[in-house]
Amino acid sequence: MADGKAKSGLLLDIRNLRIEATVYPPGEAPKTITLVHDVSLTLEKGKVLGLIGESGAGKSTIGLSSMGYGRGGVRITGGEVILNGRDILKGGKEGFRKLRGREVCYVAQSAAAAFNPAHRLMDQVVEASLLHGTATRAEAEKRAVALFKKLSLPNPEIIGERFPHQVSGGQLQRVMTAMALCSEPDLIVFDEPTTALDVTTQIDVLAAIKDAIRDTHVAALYITHDLAVVAQVSDEIMVLRHGRLVEWGGTRQIIKEPRQEYTNALVSVHEIEHREQQPGTTPMLSVKNVTAAYGGGHVKVLKNVSVDIFPGQTLAVVGESGSGKSTLARAITGLLPPEQGSVVFDGRTLGNKLSDRPKEDLRQLQMIYQMADVAMNPRQTVGTIIGRPLEFYFGMKGRERDKRVNELLDEIEMGKGFIDRYPAELSGGQKQRVCIARSLAAKPKLIICDEVTSALDPLVANGILKLLLNLQQVEKVAYLFITHDLATVKSIADSIAVMYRGEVVRYGSKSKVLTPPFDAYTDLLLSSVPEMEIGWLEKAIAGRRMESAGN
Amino acid sequence: MLDIRRIPIASLIGIVLTSLFVLMAVFAPLIAPYGNAEIVSETPWDVMSSAHWLGTDNLGRDLLSRMIYGARITLFIAVLATALSFSLGAILGFSAAVFGGWYDTILSRLVDLLMSIPTLIMGLVVLSVLPSNLVTLILVMGILDSTRVYRLSRAVAVDINVMDYVEAAKLRGEGSGWIIFREILPNALSPLVSELGLRFIYAVLFLSTLSFLGLGVQPPDADWGGMVKENKDGIVFGIPAALIPAAAIAALAISVNLVADWVLNRTTSLKGGRG
C-alpha cells in the first residue's frame, strides 16, 4: 500500500461506479434497478469530500463502496474502486477483510444503534486495531484515550469503562469517531454523523470531528443532506441526485456560485418569506402557569409555563431534546393532565383530562406528529384517514364525504388517485401532507405541529412549510409549532417561546426574541444553527457563552 | 382482485382439501351411501369392498358414511368453538389493553385462574356436571380456549395501543369501539390469523380427546376422534378402521393451516394485498 501513496497524493479513485440492486415487487417478476449510474470521484490524502443529496440519492451507497460494501443486497456491478493504488473490488472477501477497519473506517448515523450494548466502549473502540494486529491492547488503549481527549470527551481516562447506554448521544457519536480513528486508517466514511443530534450538540461533534481530521491527516467522505454542515468540514462537495452526479466543485464554489439549478435549490432551501403578524388583543389559547410531571409527580417536565397563541398566528416553541416542548403539547391536548395551572381556549377553561373534553373542543384542537409513518393507521386508505374526521365531526357520508376528501387532497397539492392508496404507498413528504389534510378536515382553530419537518429532507420539508403557511392564509388556522430547528422558526413563526429544562426562558414576538441582547441559552441555540458560510464553525465555537447540555 | 393463478400451489392444495371437507360436511345426507347408524353388515370390521369402500366399523356400520357424517359433527363443533373462543378472547383482550387499570387486572387474573387448571381436567369436570349436549360442549370448549386467545390479543394490542395513530384517534375523541375494531383489530390480524389455524386444529383434537373419554359427542353420532375410539380395538387384529378417521384429522389439520398461512400472507401486506 505504500507505493500507491508514494506516487501521488491520490488516495481514493472511484471510476464509473455502477451499483445495482434487485427488488422483488410482490406478484411481479424481480427487477434490477440501478442505484448509482457511473459516478466517478477522486479524493486526495488528508482531504474531505462532502457527498450531499436527498434520500435515495445514493450518497451512502457510494460512500460504502469505498470499503467494497453493499448494504442490504446491493451489488457493485461496474467500475473500479482504487484505494491506495489497487482496485479493491478485485481483492475478494479476504481483501475486504484486510481493508475494512484498517485502511477504511466507518462512522454510522445512529451511534446508539451501531454500538453493541453488551460490551464496554473501550473494548469496541480498540477491537479493529487488535484484530488487524496493528497495535497491542495497551498501545491501542493509550491511543484511544488520547483520541477521547482530542474529541473533548469528559473523563477521557475512564469513559471507555462505560457501556453505550451510559453516555449521551453526542458523546457516543464522538466515541464512534474515536473508534474509527483508533486503527489509524487512511480514509473514514462519515455517514450523517450529526443528523440525529440536537443543534447544540451537533456543533460540538462537528468541531471535534473537524479537529480530529485536521490533526490526524486522515481523508474523509462526509455524507449528509445538510449543506450548511458539510460546508464547515469539507474541502470539496459533490451533489448527487437519483444516483447521478449533479455538480462537483470546491466548497466555496458550490455554496456561493452553484452552477446547477438543483444545487441552487439546495443552497437557498431555507429562504421562506414570512411577514410577522402583530399579536392581537385577545389570545385564542392561553396556557396559564402549567406544571406537569411524569411518573406520578416525580419527574417535573414542565415548570410554571405560560404562553399565549393568537388567532391565525404561529407560536414556535424551540428547545433541545428534553426541554419539555413535546410535553407542553401533551398538556395542551389533555394527554398529560397538568398538575397545576390551566389551559384556556376561546375564553373557556379546557378540561384537564382528554375524557373531560366535549367533542367540539377536541375538533378545534388538532395535532400533527413528527413521524407521519406511525401517525397513520397502515391499514386504512388515505380516503378513510382523511374522511374519518369528516364523518366523525360533521356526519358526512358517501359521495359528499369523498368530494370533500378530494378537495382536501387538492388543498395539500396532491392530485387525484391518492384516495385509495395505503400509507405504505406514499413518500415521506406525501405522508406528512396526508396528516395535514386529516387535521384540516376537522376545521380546527389550532393545529399543534410536533416537529413535523424534522424527519424530512430539506427540500421536502421546505415544501411542507410553504404549504402550512399557505393553508394558514386560507383557513385562518393558528399553529403551535414545536421544533428544534431555528431556521424553520425564522421562516414561519409570529412569536417564539424558547424552552430550557421545562421552563420558558425567553418569550415574545419573533422580532423581539431574535433581537439582542440574548440570554445565554437563546444565544447558544441561535449560534449553533449551522450557516452556509465557510469558517462559521470556528466563529460560533469562539463566541459561545455556555456549554451545551450534551456536555 | 383475487387471481387464482397467483395463489401458491401449497395454498391451493389447502384450499381444495378444506373446501372438500366443508362440502362433505354440508351435503352429508346426499353423499353418504348409507345412514349414519345403519348396520349394513353382519361382520364387524368388514374388509374394503365395492359396496363398502372403506369397510365397516366395529358394529358393522358403513365406515365411509360414518366418516362423512363425522365430518359434519367435527367441523360444526370445532368451527363454532373456535369462533366463540376468538370473538370472546380477542374482544376481551383488546378491551383490556385499551381500558387498562382495574378492568385489565381483574380480567387478566381471572384468565390466569382459568389457565392454571389443566384444560382437559377442567373440561372433564364441567362436562360431567352439565347435561351432555352440543351447546354445552361448544360453550365449554370455546370458553376454555378463549383464555389463550385473550393473552395473545392483549399482548398484541398493548403494543398497538401506544402507536401514534391510536393516540391520534383518541385525540379525535373516538370511542373504544372504533379504536378496538378499526384501529387495533386490522393491525392485530396477522398474529390472530396464524393463531386461528392452530386453535381450530386444537379444537378438533380437544373434541376428539373428549369423545375418546366418552364426554364429547354421544353415540350413535360420532366425531372423528370418537370413531378412532370405537375402532381402536381393531388395530390389535390388523384392521385399519381406526387409522382412517385419524388420517382425516391429520389431513384437515394440514389443509386448514395451509389456508391460514395464505391468508396470513395477505393480511401482512401493507398495500391492501394488491401491490
CB B115 within 8 A of CB B147: yes
In a domain? residue B5: no
Q: What is the pLDDT of residues A269-327, one digit of tens each?
A: 666 777 777 777 788 888 988 888 876 667 788 888 999 999 889 999 988 777 888 88
Q: What is the pLDDT of residues A483-496, one digit of tens each?
A: 888 778 888 889 99
Domains and CATH numbers, chain A: 100-234+521-551 (3.40.50.300), 285-515 (3.40.50.300)
**Residue A6 predicted with pLDDT over 70:** no
Q: What share of chain B is helix, strand, coil (3-state, %, to 5)?
A: 75, 0, 25
pLDDT score of A165 = 82
CA distances from B32 to A347, B27, B85 (A): 78, 9, 31
Lowest mean pLDDT of A48-52, A99-103, A373-377, B218-222, name the range. Answer: B218-222
CA distance A391 to chain B (A): 11
Contact criterion met (CB < 8 Å) for B171 and A354 = yes
CA distance A520 to chain B (A): 35
What is the domain-level CATH number for residue B27? 1.10.3720.10
Find the CB nearest B171 among A362, A379, A380: A362
For residue A294, give the nearest of A342, A255, A254, A326 by alpha carbon: A326
Q: What is the pLDDT of residues A411-466, one digit of tens each?
A: 888 877 788 888 888 888 889 999 999 999 999 999 999 888 877 877 888 888 98
Residues of B in contact with A359 (CB under 8 A): 173
For residue A484, give the nearest of A175, A72, A197 by alpha carbon: A197
| For B190, nearest residue in chain A (alpha carbons) | A379
In a domain? residue B213: yes
Average pLDDT of the segment spanning A13-29: 78
Q: Could you tell me the mean pLDDT of each successive run of 10 residues in chain B, 275 residues long?
A: 71 91 89 80 77 78 88 91 95 93 94 91 89 88 93 94 91 91 91 88 88 82 85 83 88 90 79 57
**Count of CB pairs separated by less than 8 Å, A with B:** 62
Residues of B in contact with A350 (CB under 8 A): none
pLDDT score of A547 = 58
**Residue A550 predicted with pLDDT over 60:** no
Q: Residue window 399-438, chain A: list those with CB within 8 Å of chain B.
A: 422-425, 438
State how far the Cα of B44 lies from the Cα of B62, in Å rounded to an integer: 10
Residue A106 burial by Cβ neighbours in a 10 Å radius (0-12, 13-18, 19+): buried
The chain-wide mean pLDDT, for chain A, equals 85
In a domain? residue B193: yes
Question: In which domain, by residue range, is B248 found?
Answer: 21-268
Interface mutation target, options A377, A392, A438, A447, chain B, most CBs of B under 10 Å: A377
Contact criterion met (CB < 8 Å) for A422 and B171 = no
In a domain? residue B87: yes
Contact criterion met (CB < 8 Å) for A422 and B173 = no
**Residue A200 predicted with pLDDT over 60:** yes
Contact criterion met (CB < 8 Å) for B171 and A26 = no
Contact criterion met (CB < 8 Å) for B163 and A374 = yes
Residues of B in contact with A381 (CB under 8 A): 272
pLDDT score of A548 = 54
In a domain? residue B154: yes
Contact criterion met (CB < 8 Å) for B170 and A354 = yes
CA distance A26 to chain B (A): 6
Residue A388 burial by Cβ neighbours in a 10 Å radius (0-12, 13-18, 19+): buried
CA distance A228 to chain B (A): 32
CA distance B175 to chain A (A): 10
Residues of B in contact with A27 (CB under 8 A): 6, 275
User: Structural domain tally of chain B?
Assistant: 1
In a domain? residue B4: no
For residue A224, what is the enclosing H or E element?
strand A219-224
Higher pLDDT, A485 or A498: A498
Contact criterion met (CB < 8 Å) for B172 and A369 = no
CB A1 within 8 A of CB A10: no
In a domain? residue B7: no
Cβ of A375 under 8 Å from any chain B Cβ? Answer: yes
Higher pLDDT, A354 or B179: B179
Find the CB nearest A422 among B6, B163, B270: B270
pLDDT score of B139 = 93
Find the CB nearest A392 among B165, B172, B186: B172
The ipTM is 0.79
In a domain? residue B14: no
Contact criterion met (CB < 8 Å) for A375 and B168 = yes
CA distance B81 to chain A (A): 29
State how far the Cα of A222 lies from the Cα of A204, in Å rounded to an integer: 16
pLDDT score of A478 = 92
pLDDT score of A5 = 41
Query: Within A115-239, where are the H helices?
Result: 121-131, 137-150, 169-182, 199-216, 227-233
